[in-house]
Structure 1
């Protein structure tokens, strides 16, 4: 059982809903890539209302997901814009080097995207990559043995 602390006025989120959930939305949280992987945490909506996420297992939230509150309403999840690097060049070679460092990577037809990192930026420039800094939601490729993120190498 979970006891609410003073200020958790929206209650407890007990499940994650897909984008087409159809529930009444009573708030919105904006989460970066790291924050979209969670099990138990206190969060605040854009309007300042607080709630507790208490899920049975760790999840990686997909674009458009929402938290299901115990009262039947929902909190929408929006992806934060965060510092990213857009990479072009010899993509197979560059992707190999990024993957060799276990760095999450978004893969497009003519580019790669990683979270901004000065060490990786230097390495990629030395490998001949063309880089463009920007701010965007970061949506890296999921693991080969499941959807979303992979949690370890137990596959």
Structure 2
């Protein structure tokens, strides 16, 4: 078996077009990577070797050293749709727990978590367990992940 060609470049969704050699279907957690061997849907492997840990989004592409493009697709995963009379209040409580959250016009989406679900239900939320791609909001300072206060330097004490 030949060692897979490395992919060292990410092409962001909307900045590229044209044919792709294959597709990788990745969950939210799997789309946060720096160096990892991935299996494409067509059966080929690709060795992702990025300069820094990167948050990939659906529609991005990984470009191999020979110019082939591998499309990134968000995989279905267990999530919870959150609906309620006061979505802003529910979103505040989710955000206060540094939890990734997808925001839609009439509902929020979080990963399944029985503790958060109990809290949201107590606040009057209506919850629906579904299997769907998860696309939470990125960080406030640009493309990428929202990291909790324990994951990034910030310069202030917690005392």
Structure 2 runs not aligned, ≥5 long = 155-159
Question: Do the aligned partners of 2:57 and 2:74 also contact (CA within 8 Å) in 1?
Answer: no
CA-atom RMSD, angstroms? 1.7
Structure 1 runs not aligned, ≥5 long = 1-5
Give the corresponding residue for 1:17: 11
The TM-score normalised by the length of structure 2 is 0.86
- Structure 2 residue 66 is matched with structure 1 residue 71: yes
Give the corresponding residue for 1:58: 53
Segments of 4+ moved more than 4 angstroms: none
Deviation at 1:95, TM superposition (A): 1.3
Deviation at 1:40, TM superposition (A): 0.4
SS in 2 for 1:96: helix
- Structure 2 residue 80 is matched with structure 1 residue 85: yes
Deviation at 1:50, TM superposition (A): 1.0
The TM-score normalised by the length of structure 1 is 0.88
Deviations 1:51-88 (A, max 9, x none): 21000111111220010000011111111011111111
Give the corresponding residue for 1:8: 3
